[in-house]
Amino acid sequence: MPDEENCKVCQIDHEVLFDFDENSEAAREEIEAEMEVLADNFIEYLEELLL
């Protein structure tokens, strides 16, 4: 990734995704509102996980 230090690591409950039917036109903002940011980038995520 060209700007990998600014790429957040997020998680979303898969049950929430079932509410966004693949045939529906869910807005990006609707999905992003359900996501939880775990770290600001992958290196930070690994450091938190392993240390």
DSSP string for residues in 1-51: -TTGGG--EEE--HHHHHTS-TTS---HHHHHHT-EEEESSHHHHHHHHH-
- Report the C-alpha gap between 45 and 41 in whole angstroms: 6
- For residue 35, the enclosing domain spans 4-50
Number of domains in the chain: 1
Question: pLDDT tens for residues 1-51?
Answer: 677 788 999 999 988 888 777 666 778 888 889 999 999 999 999 999 998
What is the reported pLDDT for 23?
Answer: 63
